Amino acid sequence: MKLNRFLLGAVGMGLLLASTSFSNAQDITIALSAEPSTLDPQAREDGAERAVSDNIYETLMQRLPDGELVPGLAAELPVQIDPTTWEFKLRDGITFHNGEAFNAHAVVASIQRVIDPAFNSEQLAYFGTISGAQAVDDLTVRITTTGPDPMLPSRMYWMKMLPASYVTDPAVAEVPVGTGPYKFVSWQRGSEIQLEANADYWGGKVCVQNATMRFVGEPGTRLSGLLAGELDLIVNLLPEFVSSVPKAVAVEGLETPVIILATDTGVTAIPEVRRALNLAIDREAIAESIFGGYADPAQGQLVNPAAFGFNKDLPFYEYDPEAARKLVEDAGATGKTITLLGQSGRWLKDREMLEAVAAYWGETGLTVNVEIEEWGQFLSRLFSKDVRPDSVLVVNSNELLDASRETTFAYQAGSGAASNSDAELAAWINEAVAEIDPEQRAALYAKITAYANERDYLVPLVNIEDIYGLSERLDWNPRRDAKLMIREMKLSGC
């Protein structure tokens, strides 16, 4: 069973949720699959942090649920002054939750903070072309880039704006202060985060008045909480339970599970072994048996099919276990150990994917050592520039809807979580980012993805759909970019 856009499930198992634990009809409880490692919106590449901060902080640009890019804190679409300068006009009269005015100085401070090499943000794959910002007046700011960057407006959909006085305050990691529709109330470590509606929100009133975001790592526990009426929304609903929940909704997502290979050290430095690791995996079986049809095999690349720069001419990886075994044997790698780093409970079916990949790779004659780390430690190892794991499974998303996101994150040496030292490939990626002509950009990305495919720098697995479980009283259509925007949620009675 496959969804093109949305799946609406009926009430399952005869469950009625008329009686719940909610004290207010306009309160909501959401289960996240992991606890944020920080609440600093610029420091880490942490989806759990984003789920919280997307409701507290805002950006100059925003996307509608269908993906259209529109002004956010910006008053209008930006104007390109010259090839490396974009001018943004800002909305007037907006204040941060601490009473501080939102203005050009806040934008400049936010930009300078996140691009500062000393800050060492894990989000630089989104912002690597930005070189600085300057306030023209109180409501006008100019953002400069290292070269022409047609994606700059989309990048500003991702960069959260902080109060100018707050960018150097250590409290930013624990007490977020934004301009958004919800204010931070409390963080009970290991349990939950509480948010409340911002009565002075410039964007108008919202339905949900109080939101509790609980950290529930086990899919079964999330499901039980939904069925018991303790939760309104759960992420990463297991495909096999779609028909068992009060409501299920799904959307073709932007996430692609991918294994990043270390090309300079260990057994993965051997090109024949890297090719074997790709040939050893039955992606059709993973899509059907693990994801229940809510996924499609990746077409030879990490770039999402919805993104600009997707290479539709790349071949799908062939499943050929015999050829994989022979490649490992001929390379003299039989019996050698490969470490596979991953997560459990953070992403849909992450443990099952790890187990399946480990089994497939084990059939090649390699010894597979699976390591599952706590989320914060996992991120540290994923972005380490010192000791790279042989292989690491990460579920990559592309909210920029442009190949620059994936290629900078996973392909470009020295950037994001990339694990190769290919200077030629890195130069091509820089060239593609700065190319203005769409046809030439597309050709460059086709060249990049084909080159990396031939050298097996990555092991892309499948493109997955996002599946959510909802209570009867919640009405919400999931977004293509997977953001949990509480202001878009409606509850019965409001």
Mean pLDDT of 236-253: 93
Q: Please give the model's pTM, rounded to 2 decimal places.
A: 0.79
Q: How many CB atoms lie within 10 A of CB 64?
A: 11
Is the pLDDT at 57 greater than 80? The verdict is yes
Q: Are 410 and 302 in contact (CB under 8 A)?
A: yes
Whether residues 128 and 235 share a domain: the answer is: no
Q: What is the mean pLDDT of the chain?
A: 92
Residue with tokens 């309160």: 27
Residue with tokens 């009283």: 473
User: Burial letters for 91-130: b for 16+ Cβ neighbours within 10 Å, e otherwise?
Assistant: beebebbeebebbbbbbbbbbebbbeeeeebbbbbbbbbb
Q: Are 179 and 57 in contact (CB under 8 A)?
A: yes
Please tell me the distance from the alpha carbon of residue 113 to that of residue 119, in angstroms, as a whole number.
Answer: 7
Whether residues 233 and 267 share a domain: the answer is: no
Range of the domain at 421: 254-464
Residue with tokens 């975001």: 213
The backbone torsions φ and ψ at residue 164, rounded to the nearest 5 degrees and listed phi first, read -60, -35
- Please state, in angstroms and as integers, the Cα–Cα distance from residue 80 to each residue in 28, 83, 141, 147, following that order: 42, 7, 12, 13
Is the pLDDT at 68 greater than 90? The verdict is no
Q: Which two tokens stand for residue 345?
A: 């409970």
- Please state, in angstroms and as integers, the Cα–Cα distance from residue 369 to each residue in 237, 347, 423, following that order: 28, 20, 30
Give the model's confidence band at 6: pLDDT under 50 very low, under 70 low, under 90 confident, else very high: very low
pLDDT digits (tens, 9 = 90+) for 403-444: 998 999 999 999 889 999 999 999 999 999 889 899 999 999
Question: Percent of the chain, pLDDT > 90?
Answer: 84
Is the pLDDT at 259 greater than 60? The verdict is yes
Beta pairing class for 192-197 and 210-215: antiparallel
Please tell me the distance from the alpha carbon of residue 381 to that of residue 250, in angstroms, as a whole number.
Answer: 31
Instruction: Indicate whether 174 belongs to any domain.
Output: no
Question: Hey, what's the torsion of the CAs at 146, 148, 150, 151, to 10 degrees?
Answer: -10
8-state DSSP, 324: H
Q: Is the dihedral of CA 432, 438, 439, 445 positive or negative?
A: positive
Between 22-36, 63-77, 226-240, the lowest mean confidence (pLDDT) is in: 22-36
Residue that wins the pLDDT comparison between 45 and 322 = 322
Q: What is the pLDDT of residue 180?
A: 98
Please identify, among 112, 145, 168, the residue that sits at the C-terminal boundary of a domain. Answer: 168
The backbone torsions φ and ψ at residue 425, rounded to the nearest 5 degrees and listed phi first, read -65, -40
Whether residues 433 and 329 share a domain: the answer is: yes
Is the pLDDT at 348 greater than 50? The verdict is yes
User: Burial letters for 213-239: b for 16+ Cβ neighbours within 10 Å, e otherwise?
Assistant: bbbbbebeebbebbbebbbbbbbbbbb
Instruction: Indicate whether 126 belongs to any domain.
Output: yes
Whether residues 146 and 21 share a domain: the answer is: no
pLDDT digits (tens, 9 = 90+) for 96-145: 999 999 999 999 999 999 999 999 999 988 898 999 999 999 999 999 99
Residue with tokens 């190769």: 420
Please identify, among 134, 168, 202, the residue that sits at the C-terminal boundary of a domain. Answer: 168
Give the model's confidence band at 401: pLDDT under 50 very low, under 70 low, under 90 confident, else very high: confident
DSSP per position, 369-394 = EEEE--HHHHHHHHT-SSS--SEEEE
Q: What is the pLDDT of residue 15?
A: 30
Please identify, among 128, 145, 168, the residue that sits at the C-terminal boundary of a domain. Answer: 168
Whether residues 391 and 493 share a domain: the answer is: no
Q: What is the pLDDT of residue 4?
A: 31
Q: Which two tokens stand for residue 441?
A: 């950009």
pLDDT digits (tens, 9 = 90+) for 142-176: 999 999 999 999 999 999 999 999 999 999 999 99
Report the run of H or E that residue 256 belongs to, with start and end: strand 247-261
The β-bridge partners of 370 are 340
Whether residues 159 and 187 share a domain: the answer is: no
pLDDT digits (tens, 9 = 90+) for 9-48: 322 333 323 333 445 789 999 999 999 999 999 999 898 9
Which domain CATH number covers 239?
3.40.190.10
Give the model's confidence band at 285: pLDDT under 50 very low, under 70 low, under 90 confident, else very high: very high
Whether residues 83 and 203 share a domain: the answer is: no
Instruction: Indicate whether 175 belongs to any domain.
Output: no
Instruction: Indicate whether 263 belongs to any domain.
Output: yes
Instruction: Indicate whether 492 belongs to any domain.
Output: yes
Which domain CATH number covers 118?
3.90.76.10
Which domain CATH number covers 337?
3.10.105.10
Whether residues 300 and 366 share a domain: the answer is: yes
DSSP per position, 148-163 = --TTHHHHTTT-----
**Direct distance between the N- and C-terminal alpha carbons of the chain, in angstroms, rounded to an integer:** 34
Instruction: Indicate whether 65 belongs to any domain.
Output: yes
Whether residues 69 and 144 share a domain: the answer is: yes
User: Which residues lie below 8 Å from residue 443, measured CB to CB, with a gap of 6+?
Assistant: none
Please tell me the distance from the alpha carbon of residue 182 to that of residue 40, in angstroms, as a whole number.
Answer: 16
Q: What is the pLDDT of residue 253?
A: 85
Please tell me the distance from the alpha carbon of residue 206 to that of residue 240, in angstroms, as a whole number.
Answer: 33
Give the model's confidence band at 375: pLDDT under 50 very low, under 70 low, under 90 confident, else very high: confident
Instruction: Indicate whether 173 belongs to any domain.
Output: no
For the chain, the domain total comes to 3
Whether residues 349 and 284 share a domain: the answer is: yes
Q: What is the pLDDT of residue 22?
A: 43
Whether residues 384 and 488 share a domain: the answer is: no
DSSP per position, 172-197 = GGTS---SSSEEEEEEETTTEEEEEE
Whether residues 71 and 85 share a domain: the answer is: yes
Cα Rg for the chain, rounded, in angstroms?
23
Is the pLDDT at 462 greater than 90? The verdict is yes
- The size of the chain, in residues, is 494
Mean pLDDT of 210-229: 95
- Please state, in angstroms and as integers, the Cα–Cα distance from residue 444 to each residue in 73, 449, 455, 458, 492, following that order: 33, 9, 17, 18, 50
Question: Hey, what's the torsion of the CAs at 71, 76, 82, 84, to 10 degrees?
Answer: -20
Report the run of H or E that residue 352 belongs to, with start and end: helix 350-362
Question: Would you give the distance in Å from CA 379 to the centre of its chain?
Answer: 13
Instruction: Indicate whether 141 belongs to any domain.
Output: yes
